Amino acid sequence: MSVTPVGTMTPRQVATTALAGPGSCVVLGLVLLPVDALVAAVHLAHVLQLLPVLGDGRALVHAALGRGLVAGDDGAAVSPSPSPPGGPGR
């Protein structure tokens, strides 16, 4: 699932959004570790989404460089979606 940001986001908001998904999966994986190692490993593997070649990782790099998302930006460094905010044809 991809989320295409619309409007303006500060670098802190970009980083928080990027960390929310993988971070919650890692926390759940740590909780599940004593119960079922395989299910926990699947959840812990979501940390790979933070690699810079993937969308959340690109967003973190973008935020670390101090760039927020501005309305009208093409979203290339923040969103893995190739279409601009507002959808194709705009």
Answering whether pTM is above 0.75, one says no
CB of 2 closer than 8 Å to CB of 55: yes
Give, for all 90 residues of the chain, the pLDDT tens digit: 566 666 788 888 888 888 888 999 999 999 999 999 999 999 999 988 888 888 888 888 888 887 665 544 444 444 444 455 555 554
Tell me the domain boundaries of the chain.
16-54
